[in-house]
A and B are shown apart, each in its own frame.
Chain A
Amino acid sequence: QKEVEQDPGPLSVPEGAIVSLNCTYSNSAFQYFMWYRQYSRKGPELLMYTYSSGNKEDGRFTAQVDKSSKYISLFIRDSQPSDSATYLCSYYYGNNRLAFGKGNQVVVIP
């Protein structure tokens, strides 16, 4: 099973706010998780990559995996208008394949 469920959007926040995005996944055997960012009318690009449980930080972005609850989270601190995009959670489920969530559209209002 490869389902990954992503919270419904869109999400509008004022500039400077913290953005919190979440996904749940179904198979506890999988350990590689990714967040992709997709700007309007562009292809997705990798934002964060995490393995197993715990947190990973990259500048204003933090990715968190909670394996006990099968939860993946992305936090964006001090959000900027340039963060306005759709964010896709994904995980690797074997045989060279990734499963993607449906995506969360985020709008950061100046």
Chain B
Amino acid sequence: NAGVTQTPKFQVLKTGQSMTLQCAQDMNHNSMYWYRQDPGMGLRLIYYSASEGTTDKGEVPNGYNVSRLNKREFSLRLESAAPSQTSVYFCASSEVSLEEQYFGPGTRLTVT
């Protein structure tokens, strides 16, 4: 099994450009999550989706939008990238809320 996959692995954007980070899981999990990880800040939840068709804001949602396309896929969109969005982005999934979250390999995004 591939588990949680993310594309792209690396991306450089100019300020104001837009892009979508893709995430897919093959474990038939109901819940999916997007986090960002910054030095000294730890993992912070951007958005999550408890089940197909639902999404909710996390701790740092400003500047981002998400789409739960189907049970497998959960995308994160930056409409107008800013240097403050330079970070490593992780997607994760879990079967039910109290169980282990499985993380993808991350996307390293730099906004210049």
**B101 CB contacts on chain A under 8 angstroms:** 46, 98
- Chain B interface mostly: strand
- Chain A interface mostly: strand
B 41-79 binary contact with A (CB < 8 Å = 1; else 0)? 111110010100000101000000000000000000000
Q: Are A88 and B42 in contact (CB under 8 A)?
A: yes
B103 contacts the other chain (CB 8 A): yes
Q: How far is B43's CA from A96's CA once the two chains are assembled, in angstroms? A: 15
B 70-107 binary contact with A (CB < 8 Å = 1; else 0)? 00000000000000000000101010011011111110
> Interface of A with B (CB < 8 Å)?
6, 32, 34, 41-46, 49, 88, 92, 95-98, 100-103
Nearest 6 pairs of A and B residues by beta carbon: A43-B103, A96-B97, A102-B42, A100-B43, A46-B100, A96-B50
